[in-house]
Each structure stands twice: as structure tokens, then as C-alpha cells.
Chain A
Amino acid sequence: MIKAILIFNNHGKPRLSKFYEHYSEDTEQQIIRETFHLVSKRDENVCNFLEGGILIGGSDNKLIYRHYATLYFVFCVDSSESELGILDLIQVFVETLDKCFENVCELDLIFHVDKVHNILGEMVMGGMVLETNMNEIITQVDSQNKMEKSEYPVTAQGFIPRASCSKLAGLMLKEPLLSVSYVWPSVIPVTFEQLSSHIYIN
């Protein structure tokens, strides 16, 4: 089970928080702060796992995170999840964001946290992994957006002009770990479209 998903930036500002167990707002903020404190003091080239689930639940829990440009993506999971699988899931998540926002950067997450939630909702549901196939996720997100557009053309224009975020590095520019995929390894970095044909043979 995934207990929580947190996204915050290099300064600890929350960009998205999703708790799959109930906590009061204060506790949530405290968890975010402490998680940031733990994660941010780690070097770039250390492992992406952190033990000590004092924050959420018992010692069964682990923090699994990835750092992209200005953002940390942190998943708090228990032992039923595969560590490497979650790392790949984070990668899928970020790549999906990248596709949906066209070269995603922190500003996209700042201004469209609702959209990020919608995308996440197609991947993880109630703390369990719902879908890992990026194409499938994007298809569902797109057709829901289409539906929204048909209902309310106004809301669909929410994207801010690209110019305003040109100064910020896109998250995927660094692509630090794209070539390291634990669930679907390959010699050459592959796109997930190619991978998906491997995933579902039946």
C-alpha cells in the first residue's frame, strides 16, 4: 500500500500532497516538513530509500523518493510494495506529467495542482497502484479533459503561457534516471510507448 504521495520543491514548499490515511491538516503539514527535512539533506547520489516510518504508520514503512530538477517526489509505502517498482512508478508519473503538460516544469504543478491530482488519480487509487501503462493513463486523462472542454470551454484554457516558465528548468531536462528502469530494463533508454508493447502481450 502507498500511504502518502508528496511533492515539494527544493525549499520544502508543498506542490501536491495526497494522504491515503486521514491526518489532521496540522499533522499533514508536519509530515511534509519532516519528510522534506529528511530527504533534502541527502546527497544526490545516495540511494532513494529512507527508513524509519516514524512519520506515517509503523516501522514497516519506507520513504521512496526521486529528485527531479526543482522537485522532490516522495512516496511513503509499506513493505507490500516493491521498492524498485515504486521508483519506476515515480518515473512513469513524471513522464506522464511531462506528456500532459508538454515539457513539465514546477510552474505547471504550482498552477495546476488539480490537474496533477487527476493524473495521479488514474495511476494510484486509494493507495494501490491502479495503472502503470503511461499510454492508458494519458488516454483516460485526455478523454476526461475533452469531456470537461465540451462542458465548459472556459476551464480548459487554464494552461499558462509557456513564456512565463521559460526561466525554470523543465523537470525532465535532467532526466537523471530515465535510463534506469527497474521494472522494464533496456540497454538503450526507451520510450514507454515501446515498453508498453512488452507489458501487455495478452
Chain B
Amino acid sequence: MALKIVKGSIDRMFDKNLQDLVRGIRNHKEDEAKYISTCIDEIKSELKQDNIAVKANAVCKLTYLQMLGYDVSWAAFNIVEVMSSSKFTFKRIGYLAASQCFHEGTDVIMLTTNQIRKDLSSPNQYDTGVALTGLSCFVTPDLARDLANDIMTLMSHTKPYIRKKAVLIMYKVFLKYPESLRPAFPRLKEKLEDPDPGVQSAAVNVICELARRNPKNYLSLAPLFFKLMTSSTNNWVLIKIIKLFGALTPLEPRLGKKLIEPLTNLIHSTSAMSLLYECVNTVIAVLISLSSGMPNHSASIQLCVQKLRILIEDSDQNLKYLGLLAMSKILKTHPKSVQSHKDLILQCLDDKDESIRLRALDLLYGMVSKKNLMEIVKKLMLHVDKAEGTTYRDELLTKIIDICSQSNYQYITNFEWYISILVELTRLEGTRHGHLIASQMLDVAIRVKAIRGFAVAQMATLLDNAHLLTGNTQRNGICEVLYAAAWICGEFSEHLEDPKQTLEAMLRPKVATLPGHIQAVYVQNAAKLFATVLRNQEGAPEAAQETSQLMIERLPLFVQSANLEVQERASCILQLVKYIQKLQQKDVEVAEEVTALFAGELNPVAPKAQKKVPIPDGLDLDAWINEPPSESESEDEKPKAVFAREEPKHTRTRHTEVDEKELAKRREARKQEQANNPFYIKASPSSQKVYQDAPGVEHIPVVQIDLSVPLKVPGLPLSDQYVKMEEERRQKDNDKKKKEKKRKRDKRGRGKHADSGPESEEDITPAQQVDIMTEEMPENALPSDDDDKDPNDPHKALDIDLDKPLADSEQLVARTHRSAEVLKSPGGDGDGETITPEPKKKTRKDKKEKKKVKDKERTRSAEDKKNKKKHKHDPEEEEAKIEEAITLVNAEEAQPAAAADLDFWLTTDAAPSSAQEAVAATIPEVPIEAEPSEVKEAEPEEMKSKHKKKKPKKEKEEMEREKKKKKKRHHHHRSDREETESVQNGTMEEEEEEPLPPMSNYCLLAENDYIKMVYDIQGNLQDGSQVVVSIIFQNKSSSVLKSMEFNVLDSLNSKLERPEGATPHDALTVPFQLPPDVSNEARFVFAVQSIVMPQKLKGTLTFIVKSDDSATHEKLDFKLHFTCTSYLITTPCYSDAYAKLLESGDLKSSSLKLEGVTMPFHHSLARICFHHHFSVVERVDSCASMYSRSIQGHHVCLLVKTADETVSIDAKCDELMLLENVLDEIKQTFSQS
């Protein structure tokens, strides 16, 4: 062995190690690729060797090469080999390599399952750690499924180092194997209160990550997180929790109300900028969710804005950036509070940091008003001029358009100004956003009728101007605006001053260099213009013929176009014009007819209109109209919709498919609407003339400005004039108003308020009377909210209701070893009312095991102390026990109950303070030298008492109603916690899976110097003749215990279930080894025939104690005690069924009296529930009925009463012997205390 190692290291001395490789690469800068390829050859030969050290070295080098971009997937199998080395050094190298280059497509991953499982259960915590770290990077659905259970077990590992890794990796497991979320969740939740801060933080991390994607499922955790938030001092954890609350508040505004106060306190008190920032963020989220109804939240907004201003003014660019980021969130709901900081934000536009400038731009979007829009946009235009990088310039461009067009052009008072801004923006060379400008132009021109004249004039100048045509038009995105310009000029050609000139401009040969879709628009709109020109030239046949001649001369250029659309349109129009020319030559008046070609009004249609047309009842769009053709026809090359932008047209034609009646109705409605609308021009086919003198046109102030001058010179900023004009206009308006006001004031005497100084929003009247047409929507449009969710989002699968109790089918497949195999998947029993306790039970047991083994002594002493000193902690303990005992949750009740709890928690107004009080209460109560376990127990109690208050009341009312017993009512106030809890214990409700069991049913089986065994027996619900014995083996020695064999001397009545083929004397191998100080649990199944009598079975455990130099065989004898209780299974029973059962009279009765019972009644009940597997059917004051069922279906009913330290139990059961034995055992339980 030693020789081999020496040999191995000698071998290695001749190999290149990682450092040599790196050095080599650095020394071969010129021919790096060649050098590396020789290195890869070396590595390949190294991988062929048997020596694992050589292999590991090779894999290590491969990991480095992978970082440099070399594909190393060919070595995947070798990586697996290195991973499975027993040496930690190599294992780590292997796992690192795997984590860097394995992925779901790596086929050798399936070979690793067992190796990883072995490493996970390795006695060496670093083996486990390395495996977890690696697995977190390459876990696949298969691995997640196979290992989920192992990892879940690790979540309760003794070492916090392992626990925290196991907790974190669960998130990855959930993602890959969503079925594991529900079974694992209770334990994950438990880890939120882990004593180790690292584990706690990991659990918070995982739950936050889960909750971020599906927040509503985690609302019920809010109280727990609230407690953590008010008690934790770990900023990392606080940040996560506060972020989580930010995600939760939109779902539950009441939560927000509760949060405001503690968050505000944190904002005031913390000096950590990160925490401050997250608090502000969450407060903002709260304020958004509260929208209104909170009288004093303006203070909170002020606080946030003020803190953010401090951040923005900070010299630290990071804070500045984040301040702006958060500010933009406030802006959405409280724009006024942000607008007062406009100066600061405009200042940020000049920042040298692009990230900050972009953020400031975002903010400006929300800060504009009618008053300041022009000013802000002017400033932005200056920045556009200055901007050097195209990205930032493009960003500015889109922002300007966003700002102006937001909320249906709400802030634009002067559309001429806006058009001129758009025209100015066309000067930007090389921008990607030409289409954006174009669509704005189209939108404004179509929807703002009053501006059409002006817009058309501007567009005509654009068309006439060559500057957009210069340069490489294919790459220059700005030529897109010509698309809009051509269309506007064509469609609204009646506004053109000189349509002939525009027509000529549109038919210039250079147009042929434009992209096809623009040319197509040119051709089509040239035809429209042609119609207009003909119309204008009515009575001048020569001029008209000239125009036709122009068309005939120019159009052939387009007929030759390579673009199909252009070609088709051009040839069509060309033929048309030729025909017209013929008619003209015959002196026929054609203008009227040609114009009719393009008559009619186009109405804007909302972009989503088509999608929102409701599907009529009985129409199945997926059904075949005709039988599908037998052969699949080739459906290639469907021509793309060329007129994508002219969708309104298409949509309109589709509209006509509605039935006639409907259509008539709509037409009527529209006419009505149009009649009331002074700017609406009636759209009869021959309306063009009417159009000209429509009332809206009067408002177009085209004459006022000398347009041609500025736009002939494209460089001149025209919009500035508007700013000036606008200012003057407003000034004038203001003066007028002031005068009026003055007059009024003079009349009224002294006004109370001084003049409002700078004009307020309302004072600004738009320059033109502007009617912004709304886009048309189909009638009965569905208000669908268009879920844009990604169907492939892995988090979708994790949208799982976590409050529902676990079903059997959901539990994770247990680690397969022989004994466990027998009890896999215990299904629900026939009633369908109950579910099996298995999964939860197991979770608890693991926990218990740890507790018991480690803290047994401590817990006991702590208990004593508590019993004496702090009476308060007692109920909690009992409660935990009850939770243990009642693992069967009524499925119907659990969920509403949880919801009710949250409801209650949220509605208590005093809660923030009470929570603080709770924290305050916990801290002083726990003496500094107190055991940690005590601290742990104290906290949940505070929690639970808050959690559960509501239900007992409800439950009780129900009970009273049902039974109509004249017992006095309990009123539960928040303050009398003691009482509340006692009643609650009595009602035996369980909805919180928060097991922190300080006690357990495990009792000592046997113990010697090496090993200690504790056991618990549970009935197997599935098989009436089986019980399961769970034994925890704890290694007390400092050596490894292995080859443990478990054997029992079978009796006639009870037999150990052995694998098939084994004789009744064969021992069962315990499926694990025990490293020092480690404990583990194994389960053994016994078959029993009669269950009416208790029984004892003798058995032996043999094992090998392996220490460094020696190995000895040891053996330990034990006696397994099967009590009658262990054959009982906790089964819930409804009171009506219970009454029926008692009435049936088939039951034999017995009774028992216990004297000197000093403990409170609910403690006694809990004790019976916990230790003897009963459940409470109902409880009224000092009297309770309880029920349990044996594995063979015997009913056991108890009526427990208490008076003066005496507990009397009247019992009934089908089987008297069983009953008496059970009563004996109950008696024993009480005598032990």
C-alpha cells in the first residue's frame, strides 16, 4: 500500500501538473493552440493509466482547459472515475471537474447516482460537502428523484456544515423534481429556526427563492418571517426576508400595513446601506399595494423619497444608481412626491456614468407633465446631439418617444411641436429606431385629425428632402420614416399644397434603392396622389395627361423590382394608368372614378383588437371544417404579410364577417357617435369633398408658420420655435386669466390665497383643439390580461399548494434497503378520510433521534427547570407532543384553518408591537446560561400562540352547537394565552407542522459501551398483521461499528419479517455502518397474529468494532417489548360516527381511575394521545372522548373525566383483553410521571 503511494508520487513527478501546464501555456504564447493540443494528448494517455493519482492530475488539468474554452466532455467517464476515488483529494478534483462540465445531456451522469449517494452518507463531512457542492451544479431530474430522500435526511444532519449545504441544494432538487417540494417542505420550514445561523440563512434563501416565483403559496409563512425579521440581527438574512416581503405584499395589503412600522424603524436605525435600501424598496412595494386607504402613509413616502435623495446625492455611484432605481418605483404610484426632485434627476442626466443616465431617463418618463414636457424633451434633444455612442443615443430616442406618447399623448399640448420633434429625430443617422419614429408619425397623423394638414406638409418636405435617401439605405434604419411619410402623404393627400410635386418626389429613380416594403408603399401611395392630382386638374386636360404620362414613365422602374410586392403593385397601377390615359385621350372625365378607388376612411384599431374578439358559443376553431386531406399538403412559403403596418385595413375587412344585423346595429351606433363628434368626418364613399370643409380643418394653423423654410434645411431645430411660441402663448393665456382673476378678486375683495404663481397643470390649454381618436375595439371584447408567462419556466412546476396535507402518493421514495422495502408506500386506509402518518412521522423521528441522543440529559434538566420556574413553557411542550401524536390531519380542515390563522395574524392591528413584545419577552426570559434547546422551544411557543388563536373559538362554537350541552362558553382574549392554549390542546387541532419535539416515544432497548439502541413500535396501517419497529442505533464509541446484524428469536405469535428464502434463524443486516458519534435509524417489520396481549421478544445485535489497529466482534442482547398500545393507530373520528359506535352496543367496557394526577387536564389528554396513539373526538371542559383503532380494526373508545386530581377513564372496546391491557399501560404511563 505504502509502496504504491510512493510509486504513485514518483510517477507524478514526471507528469505535468496544473502549474506546469499553466506555465507551459504562458511560455508558448505564439503557438498556444498547438501546445495545448500536445498537452491534451498527454492527458489522454495519462487518463489511460490505472493510477488514480495520475488520472486525477489529468482531470485537474482538463478543468483548467475547460475554462479556456476547450470541450472536455470526452473525458466525462474519467471524471466519474476520479469522483469515485476514496481519497478526498481526488474526489474533490473529480467533483469540481464534473460541476464545471457536466450537464443534463451528459450521459455518464446516470452512472454517478450510487457514488453520490455513498458520498452523501459518508462519515467524512467533507466528502458529503464536496458531493453536495458538485451535485448542486449538475443535478438532473433523475438524480433529483433518486437522491431527494437522501438529501432530505441530510437536512437534519448533526453538522451544521452539512445541514446548510443540504438545505440549499434542496432548491435545485425542487426545480428538477417538483414532486419533492411538498414532502420536503415541513423540514425546510423547520430549518428557518435552526440554531445555526448559516443553516437558517440557507433556509431563508431557499424559501425566498421559491416564494419569489410563486408568492401566494408562501403567504402563510408571513408570520414566521415577520418574527424572523423582528428578531434577526443578521443583515444578510434580513435583506432576504425584506426582499421576500416585497414580493408578498402585493398579494396581501394587510401584510403591508403590518410591515410599515418595523420597516420604518429599521430605516431609521440601520446604518447598513444595503439594508436601508431594501427596506425602502419594500416600503415602496407596500405603499404600491396599499394604493389608498392609509391616512398616514404620506409620511412613509416622504421618508422613502428623502432617504433616496440622500442616496442619489451620495458621491458613491452605486448608491446613486440604486437610489434612482428605487425612485422610479415610487414614481409609478406617487409621481407628485418624486416630481419635486426634478432638479436632482435632471442633474443626473449629465452624469458621466451611462448606467446612471439611463436610470435618470427612466425616471423622467414618469415625471413629465403638460407643463414641463417641452422643457424636458428639449433637454433630452440636446443630449441626443451630444451623445457619442449609438446605444445611448438610441436609448434617448426611444425615451423621448415613450415620454411623449405615454398614456395616449396625455401630456402633449401641441402636436405640431411633437411632429417637428419627430422630424428632427429623423436626422439621426444609423439609428435602429426608424420604425419607431415612423409608427409614431403614422399614429399621430391618423388619430389626431386636426394635425393632419401640418403633418402632411412636413411629410411632403421629408419626401422631397433627399437626406434620408443618402447613404446606405439598406443599413440605415432611419429610412423607415419614409414609409410613414409616403403613406401619410398618400392617404391624406387632400391636405397637400402641391400634390404634383410630392408625386414627382415619390417617383424619383433613387427610391428604388429603398427597402422593398417601403417601395411598395411608395407605389401604392403614388397612385393615391395621382388620383388627387387628377382631381385638382379637373378641367385642365393637358395637365392631367401630363401627370398620367409622368406615371407611365416612372412606374416601369418599379415593375422591374425584385420585390414581388413592389412589382405586383407597380404593374397593376401601371396598367390602370395606361387605361386612364386612353380615357383621357378620349376626353373622358376620369377624376371622379379614380378618386373613388381610394375613398373611405381608415379608423385606427387597437393592436389587440383582433385577439379580443370573443369566440361565439359553439364555435370550435380547432375543429375541421372539412375532413383533413389524406396527404399532408406542402404548405411552404406562405408569403409574409407585407403590409404588416397597415393592419387596420385587414382587421376592418375581417370585421365585416359579422352577421348583417349586428353590423347594422354597429353602424347605427357609430353614426350616432359620429354625429356627436364635431371632428368626425362622415365616411361615405364620395366624402372627399365634404372632407375639405370639415369643421376640424379650421383649427389647423398651417398658415401661421412658414414651414418650408426650416425644413428645406434639415439641420435647423424647428421644435425650439414651438417651445418659445408655447411659452408666449401660455404667458398670454396666463395674463388673460390673471386679469380675469384680478377682476374677480377685486370684486370679491381680498382673496385668501395668493395667486398660484407658476401656472398649474390645469391652466394649460392645448394649442389646438385636439381630438385624439381612441382605437377601435370589438364589442364584447374580453378583458383578457394576456398572460405573457413563459410556458417553459421551470418555476411553474413549483406552483404547489404547501398548506394542503401530504398525500401518501407524494412521499419521497425511501432509501431502499431490505427492511425498509417492506414498508414502502403505506397507502391510505379504506375510509378515504385519513392519511397515513408515515412521511411526517419519519421527519420527526429523525429530528427526535438527534435530540434524544444529543440532548437527552439537557432536555430533561431543562424540563425540570421549566416545570418549576416557568410554567408557561409547559403547554408548548405538550403541544409539541400532541403534534407528534396526531399525525393524521383532517384534509378538509387543514387548509381553511391555516388561512384563518393568517387572517387572524393579519387583522390584529396591535401585532407589530405585540411581535416586538414577543421578542422582548423571549429574550429576558431566557437566562444567559440557559440551554440552547430551551431557547429554541421558547420561541415557537410565542409563535404558535399567535398563530392559532382563532381556531379554538371556532371549533368550540361548532361543538357546542352540535351537542347543545349547557356548558359555559369560553371567551378567549389575546391576553390569556394559557387558557387559549389549553382549549386548543383539548380540541386537538393540528395544522402547523412545526415539530420541535422535546420528548418522544422512543424508549431504551439496550445499551453497552459501544452502542445504544432506542426503539419505537408503530402499527402498519396497510397490513393488519404487521408492526414496524424503528430502532435508532447510536455509536457511543470512538471506533467505527460495522457489519451490524439484528436477530430476534421469533415466537409463535410474532415473527421478524425476513427476506424470502431466509430461515427463521437468519439475522438481518443493518444497512449501514456507524462512524463514531453517529446515529442512524433502521426499521424492522414484524408479523403478529394476536394483538390482544403484550409480548416480549428476545433478540441479539452483533457487530464489529473497527478501530485503527483492531477489530473485535461484539454482541448486545435485548428484549423487544410489544405493548398493546403499539398495535393502536391514531385515527381521527367524527363525533357523530363516534356516537353511533357507542350506541351500537357491541362494545365491552372497562374503567380505570388514576389518583393524584396533578398535571392539567389537557396535559393528561396529550399524554394519552401521544403515548397511546389516541385522538380526541371532542372535549368539553373537564371531560373528553377519545378514540383509537388497532391495526386489526378494533375500536377503542375512552371517556376521560377529571375532578380533584383524579382522572377517571371509562373505556369501551370490541375486545376486552386488549382494552384492559391498554388501560394498564395508560396507568403505567401516568405512574411514571
B-side contacts of A85, CB under 8 Å: 236, 239, 274
Q: Kindly identify which residue among A14, A84, A125 contacts B322, using a CB–CB cutoff of 8 Å.
A: A84
Of the listed stretches A68-76, A94-102, A129-137, name the one at the interface; the rest are far from the partner chain.
Answer: A129-137
Query: How long is the Cα–Cα vector from A168 to B532 in the complex, in angstroms?
Result: 78
Determine if B1086 is an interface residue (Cβ-Cβ < 8 Å): no
Indicate whether B68 reaches chain A with its CB closer than 8 angstroms. yes
Interface residues of A in 163-186 (CB under 8 A from B): 180, 182-185
Contact status A128-B171, CB under 8 Å = yes
Name the residue of chain A whose CB is nearest to the CB of B165.
A125
Q: Are B88 and A17 in contact (CB under 8 A)?
A: no
Does B18 sit within 8 A of A, measured CB to CB? yes
Q: Which of B170-200 contact A (CB under 8 A)?
A: 171-172, 195, 197-198
> Given known contacts A84-B273, A125-B133, A130-B202, is B60 in contact with A114 (CB within 8 Å)?
yes
Q: Are B236 and A49 in contact (CB under 8 A)?
A: no
Residues of A16-56 at the interface with B, using a CB-CB cut-off of 8 Å, are 16-18, 20, 22, 24-26, 28-29, 43, 45-51
Find the B residue at minimum CB distance from A29: B69
Instruction: Give B267-301 as 1s and 0s: 1 = Cβ < 8 Å from A's Cβ atoms.
Output: 00001111101100000000000000000000000
Contact between chains at A158 and B132 (CB < 8 Å):
no
CB pair A49–B355 under 8 Å, yes or no, is: yes
What distance in Å separates the Cβ of B411 from its nearest Cβ neighbour in chain A?
26
Contact among A14, A48, A88, A129 for B67, CB-based, below 8 A: A14
Known: A80-B208, A114-B18. A49 touches B321 (CB 8 A): yes
Once the chains bind, are B353 and A82 in contact (CB under 8 Å)?
no
Cβ of B520 within 8 Å of any chain A Cβ, yes or no, is no
Interface flag for A199 (CB, 8 Å): yes
* A191 within 8 A of partner (CB): no
Q: Name the one of B22, B235, B271 contacting A199, with C-beta atoms under 8 angstroms.
A: B235
Q: Which residue of A lies closest to B172 (CB)?
A: A126
What's the nearest-Cβ distance from chain B to residue A95, in Å? 16
CB of B673 within 8 A of chain A? no
A70 to B110, CA, bound (A): 41
Question: Does A190 touch B at the CB level, under 8 Å?
Answer: no
A80 with B165: in contact, given A114-B63, A182-B274 (CB under 8 Å)?
no
Q: How far is the CB of B1178 from chain A (nearest CB, A)?
A: 41
The answer to the question of B209 belonging to the interface, with a C-beta cut-off of 8 Å to chain A, is yes
Q: Is the CB of B353 within 8 A of A47?
A: yes
- Residues of A near B71 (CB, < 8 A) are 24-25
Once A128-B206, A147-B126 are accepted as A-B contacts, the answer to whether A25 and B171 lie under 8 Å apart by CB is: no
Bound complex: CA of A160 vs CA of B161, how far in Å?
A: 31
Q: Which of B89-97, B339-347, B458-466, B1106-1114 contacts A (4 or more CB under 8 A)?
A: B89-97
Min CB distance B628 to A, Å, is 39
The reply to whether the CB of A118 lies closer than 8 angstroms to some CB of chain B is yes
Does B136 reach chain A (CB closer than 8 Å)?
A: yes
A194 at the interface (CB under 8 A from B): no
A200 touches B274 (CB 8 A): no
B236 touches A113 (CB 8 A): no
Residues of A within 8 A of B63 (CB): 113-114, 117
Number of chain B residues close to chain A: CB under 8 A: 79
Tell me, in angstroms, the Cα distance from A154 to B89 when the chains sit together.
Answer: 11
Residues of A within 8 A of B212 (CB): 80
Check if B93 sits within 8 Å of A48, measured CB to CB: no
Query: Could you tell me if B96 and A118 are in contact, using CB atoms closer than 8 angstroms?
Result: yes
Say which residue of A16, A110, A130, A155 sits within 8 Å of B22 (CB atoms): A110
- Report how far A46 CA is from B63 CA in the complex, Å: 34
Instruction: Give Cα A143 to B172, complex, Å.
Output: 27
Contacts A49-B321, A140-B161 given; indicate if A43 touches B352 (C-beta within 8 A). yes
A193 contacts the other chain (CB 8 A): no
Which B200-255 residues have a C-beta within 8 angstroms of A?
201-202, 205-206, 208-209, 212, 233-236, 239-240, 243
CA of A52 to CA of B1144 in the docked complex: distance in angstroms? 74
Encode contact with B along A75-92: 1 for CB under 8 Å, 0 otherwise. 000001011110110000
* Residue of B whose beta carbon sits closest to that of A198: B233
Q: Which residues of A contact B198 (CB under 8 A)?
A: 130-131, 133, 136
Give min CB distance, B798 to chain A, whole Å.
14
Contact between B89 and A152, CB atoms less than 8 A apart = yes
Q: B69 contacts which chain A residues (CB < 8 A)?
A: 25-26, 28-29
A183 adjacent to B274 (CB under 8 Å): yes
Contact check, B236 vs A132: say whether CB atoms are below 8 A apart: yes
Q: Verify if A144 is at the interface (C-beta below 8 Å from B).
A: yes
- When the two chains form the complex, which single residue of A25, A112, A199 contacts B234, counting CB atoms closer than 8 Å? A199
Nearest CB of chain B from residue A200's CB, rounded to whole Å:
5
Give Cα A143–Cα B60 distance, bound, in whole angstroms.
21
Partner-binding segment picked from B312-320, B367-375, B1126-1134, B1164-1172: B312-320
Interface check B77, CB cutoff 8 A: no
**B208:A182 contact, CB within 8 angstroms:** no
Residue B512 is within 8 A (CB to CB) of chain A in the complex: no
Q: Is the CB of B317 within 8 A of A184?
A: no
Q: In the bound complex, how far is the Cα of B88 from the Cα of A151, in angstroms?
A: 8
* Neighbour of B96 across the interface among A84, A117, A143, CB < 8 A: A117
Binary flags per residue of A103-121, CB closer than 8 Å to B gives 1, else 0: 0000000111110011001
Q: Is the CB of A185 within 8 A of B272?
A: yes
* Inter-chain contact B70/A126, CB cutoff 8 Å: no
Residue of B nearest to A32 (CB): B69
Please give, as numbers and ranges, the residues of chain A lying within 8 Å of B605 by CB-CB distance: none
CB-defined contacts of A184 to chain B, threshold 8 Å: 235, 272
B residues near A126, Cβ cutoff 8 Å: 133, 136-137, 139, 168-169, 171-172
Does chain A have a CB within 8 A of B45? no
- Neighbouring A residues of B274 by C-beta, 8 Å: 82-85, 88, 182-183
Cα–Cα distance between A184 and B19 once the two chains are bound (Å): 37
Does chain A have a CB within 8 A of B87? Answer: yes
A184 to B126 CA separation, bound complex (whole angstroms): 30
Q: Confirm or deny: B66 has a beta carbon within 8 angstroms of a beta carbon on chain A.
A: yes
A183 touches B19 (CB 8 A): no
Q: What's the Cα separation between A175 and B239 when bound, in Å?
A: 25
If A80-B212, A84-B322 touch, whether A111 touches B19 (CB-CB below 8 Å) is yes
Within 8 A of A (CB), among B316-333: 316-318, 320-322
| Chain B 51-86 near chain A by CB (<8 Å), digits 1 or 0 | 001000000100110111111000000000000000
Whether the pair A180, B316 counts as a contact (CB closer than 8 A) is: yes
**Assuming the A-B contacts A130-B164, A202-B197, are A144 and B92 also in contact, with contact meaning beta carbons closer than 8 angstroms in the complex?**
yes
**Chain A residue with Cβ nearest B278:** A82
B358 interface contact, C-beta 8 A: yes
Is B353's CB under 8 angstroms from A200's CB? no
Task: Let me know if B9 is at the binding interface, CB within 8 A.
Answer: yes
Q: Is the CB of B318 within 8 A of A125?
A: no
Name the residue on A nearest B935 (C-beta): A202
> Is B22 in contact with A129, judged by CB distance below 8 angstroms?
no
Q: Does A1 reach chain B (CB closer than 8 Å)?
A: yes
Q: Which residue of B has the minimal Cβ distance to A13? A: B68
Q: Residue B12 at the A interface, CB < 8 A?
A: yes
Q: Whole-angstrom distance from the CB of B1080 to the nearest CB of chain A?
A: 23
Assess the B53–A152 pair: CB atoms within 8 A: yes
**In the bound complex, CA of A50 to CA of B355 (Å):** 7
- Is B197 within 8 A of A200, CB to CB? yes
Counting chain A CB atoms within 10 Å of each CB, which of B240, B273, B358 scores highest?
B273
Residue of B nearest to A201 (CB): B233
Of residues 1 through 53 on chain B, the ones whose CB sits less than 8 Å from some CB of chain A are 9, 12, 17-19, 22-23, 26, 53
Known: A144-B92, A160-B19. 19 other contacts (CB 8 A): A17-B67, A24-B71, A28-B69, A46-B355, A46-B356, A47-B353, A50-B355, A83-B318, A126-B171, A128-B205, A128-B206, A136-B198, A148-B89, A152-B9, A154-B12, A182-B274, A183-B272, A184-B272, A202-B233
**Can you list 27 A-B contacts with CB-CB less than 8 angstroms, sorted by A residue number?**
A16-B67, A45-B317, A47-B321, A49-B321, A51-B358, A83-B274, A84-B273, A111-B18, A112-B18, A113-B18, A114-B18, A114-B60, A114-B64, A114-B96, A121-B130, A121-B133, A125-B165, A126-B133, A130-B168, A140-B161, A151-B88, A154-B9, A154-B12, A158-B17, A183-B236, A198-B233, A199-B233
The 8 residue pairs across chains A and B that have the minimum distance between CB atoms: A126-B136, A84-B274, A47-B317, A22-B103, A46-B353, A182-B274, A29-B69, A47-B321
